Amino acid sequence: MTTLPGIAAIGAGLAVLGAGIGIGRIGASALEAIARQPEAAGKIQTVMIIAAALVEGAALFAVVVSLLVAG
């Protein structure tokens, strides 16, 4: 029988895994865009950092919610 803290730990792990994949894809796409248009590197990096921060914030929120459910 699976306990509620175990399910919450799985949820937190999935949130972190999803955030890692999302940030990796953001970074890869940004590097590809910079390779195509090097003169736009500053704007691309700014948008990349904002998008990565939003993904990280959503992942942190998911981890906190899953840990609150466990408690």
Summarize pLDDT for 36-55 with one digit per residue, the tens: 999 999 999 999 999 999 99
2 part of a folded domain:
no
Q: 48: Cβ–Cβ under 8 A, 6 or more apart, which residues?
A: 26, 27, 29, 30
- Per mean pLDDT, which range of 10-14, 21-25, 46-50 is the poorest? 10-14
Question: CA–CA distance from 41 to each of 47, 55, 56 (Å)?
Answer: 10, 21, 22
Range of the domain at 49: 10-65
56 part of a folded domain:
yes
Token pair of 56, please?
A: 């990280």
pLDDT score recorded for residue 2: 63
32 part of a folded domain:
yes
Token pair of 10, please?
A: 């799985």
71 part of a folded domain:
no
Number of domains in the chain: 1
| Domain CATH number, residue 45 | 1.20.20.10
1 part of a folded domain:
no
Report CA torsion sign: 64, 54, 34, 29.
positive
